[in-house]
Amino acid sequence: MISAPLVAVVGAGPAGIAAVRRLRESSGVRVVLVVPGGLSEYLPGTLAVATGDARAACYRTRVELAGVEIIPARVEAVEPGALRIAGSWRRVEAVIAAPGLAIHPVESATSGSIAAFWDPTGAEAAAPRIGAVEGGIVDVVISSLPYRCPPAPYGLAMRLARRARRLGLPLHVRLLTPEEHPLAALGRTLGDALLAGCEDAGVEVLLGTQADPDALAEGKMPAPDSDPDAADLTIVVPRHHASPLVADLARANSPLVPVDARFATEMAGVFVVGDAAASPYPRAADPAAWSGTVAAQAVLSELGVEGDQAAQTPTADCFVDHGDGAYGRIRIAYPDGSPPRGRPAVTIDPAAPALAIDFEDAHRRWQALRVEIR
Ligand SMILES: Cc1cc2nc3c(=O)[nH]c(=O)nc-3n(C[C@H](O)[C@H](O)[C@H](O)COP(=O)(O)OP(=O)(O)OC[C@H]3O[C@@H](n4cnc5c(N)ncnc54)[C@H](O)[C@@H]3O)c2cc1C
């Protein structure tokens, strides 16, 4: 008996999980999902973990999906028709790689006056130092573009400022970004709303501030005793670079992998989806999931299992932490087609404590997509 072709999906973020679930709908393929430790991490939990309000474990789950073989490992290499795991090559018909973006290590990231992180695990290591700052200046530095979830550093700054105010701490929070206006690619209104939120929370935003990425990477920041404007703690959103798995496919000056409209790369039978792909959409969960679905459909079509399907444009839905339990929400749609021709339509829900329930619901839905077998 000839068994159905095997398709490998790498990574269990929104893009990988969407690809797996779309492939699983077809009886014409077998699906294997490879993810380190068999675990998935919910990145929007990063901010609550950074301020010590949650543990990283709250935002981590094992992945168990009926009908899907899970390999709890890191894929070491991909080539047409195969992937290498623990030194052995495994043959597959197609690969959908969804490894996300890697974050650049920062020296002394867990000591001294620099804390660099952009996921719950990194935030947990930094939380004691963030909690120990009782006065002075805290900088949140966006080291370079692109990075995951463009509004989130503003949310972190607002969360820190409001926490300090609530605790009566004399803390001044600054947000430093290389952009001349926040989230410029999404239009002026959204940036204006973020700036207004920051002002309301008491965050000073320093636009057009280009941090020296090499100095940041080496953990070299001016000391407060040599420079009165220097921060007592610098929280760095590290430079994002291509995952080593797909780095050879990325452009020299960008962490993103060029893909066609079906998320196929220049390597035969290898698709790259989610944050790692050079798509014109924001680095956010719903566009990532959408790309996973598009690539899965393309694989099913290439294998002759299903016909071609036209792809719509994705939407994005981002929560903006305003601190003290209040969240705003940004929804982005592309009703006129994909950028740059189609303009993003942005809807902004103002900050409200009630949106914290929606944030928690989104986390529950994320978990339910990953754990089916109990
Ligand atoms: C602080 C923060 C807040 C955010 N808030 C929001 C929000 O409110 N709304 C929103 O839409 N988006 C938000 N995002 C962005 C969103 O989380 C990302 O855009 C999304 O997770 C990208 O999905 P992905 O599947 O491409 O990659 P990821 O979620 O990064 O997943 C990558 C997966 O690949 C695995 N992996 C990596 N390398 C390998 C390898 N070699 N072998 C096997 N597996 C590998 C990883 O373990 C992981 O499972 C936020 C992000 C951050 C950091």
Nearest CA to ligand 1 atom 31: 13
Fold (CATH) for 102-240+315-368? FAD/NAD(P)-binding domain (3.50.50)
Residue 109 has pLDDT above 80, yes or no: no
12 CB less than 6 Å from ligand 1?
yes
Q: Mean per-residue pLDDT for 1-27?
A: 94
274 CB less than 6 Å from ligand 1?
yes
For ligand 1, the distance from its centroid to the CA atom of residue 14, given in whole angstroms, is 7
- pLDDT for the residue 186: 87
338 CB neighbour count, 10 Å cutoff? 15
Quick: pLDDT tens for 46-84. 999 999 999 999 999 999 999 999 999 999 999 999 999
Nearest CA to ligand 1 atom 30: 100
Assign 3-state DSSP to the chain and report helix, strand, coil percentages, each to 5: 30, 25, 45
Chain CA centroid to CA 210, Å: 22
150 CB less than 6 Å from ligand 1?
no
Instruction: Break the chain into its structural domains and give their ranges.
Output: 6-35+73-100+243-302, 102-240+315-368
Minimum mean pLDDT range among 96-100, 108-112, 179-183, 262-266:
108-112
- pLDDT for the residue 220: 62
98 CB less than 6 Å from ligand 1?
yes
In sequence order, what are the residues at sequence separation of 6 or more whose Cβ sits closer than 8 angstroms to the Cβ of residue 146?
A: 101, 240, 255, 256, 283
Residue 122 has pLDDT above 90, yes or no: yes
Mean residue pLDDT of the chain comes to 92
Q: Mean per-residue pLDDT for 152-166?
A: 97
Q: Mean per-residue pLDDT for 178-201?
A: 94
Q: Which atom of ligand 1 is nearest to the CA of 274?
A: 26
- pLDDT for the residue 3: 85
Residue 135 has pLDDT above 80, yes or no: yes
Nearest CA to ligand 1 atom 9: 318
pTM of the model: 0.94
For ligand 1, the distance from its centroid to the CA atom of residue 118, given in whole angstroms, is 10
For ligand 1, the distance from its centroid to the CA atom of residue 370, given in whole angstroms, is 14
315 CB less than 6 Å from ligand 1?
no
Same topology between domain 6-35+73-100+243-302 and domain 102-240+315-368: yes
149 CB less than 6 Å from ligand 1?
yes
133 CB less than 6 Å from ligand 1?
no
- Max mean pLDDT range (5-19, 223-237, 248-262): 5-19
Q: Which of 6, 44, 13 is nearest to 356 (CA)?
A: 44
The pLDDT-based confidence of 373 (bands split at 50, 70, 90) is: low
- pLDDT for the residue 310: 76
Share of the chain above pLDDT 70, in %: 93
For ligand 1, the distance from its centroid to the CA atom of residue 281, given in whole angstroms, is 14
- pLDDT for the residue 222: 56
Alpha carbons within 13 angstroms on the beta-carbon side of residue 147 total 26
- pLDDT for the residue 1: 61
Residue 328 has pLDDT above 60, yes or no: yes
Tokens 């949650």 belong to residue: 54
Quick: pLDDT tens for 213-237. 667 666 666 555 556 678 899 999 9
Strands (E), 66-189: 69-71, 75-79, 82-85, 88-91, 94-97, 101-103, 114-116, 136-142, 171-176
Please state which CATH number belongs to domain 6-35+73-100+243-302: 3.50.50.60
63 CB less than 6 Å from ligand 1?
no
Quick: pLDDT tens for 265-289. 999 999 999 999 999 999 999 999 9
The dihedral through the CA atoms of 36, 40, 46, 52 has a sign that is: negative
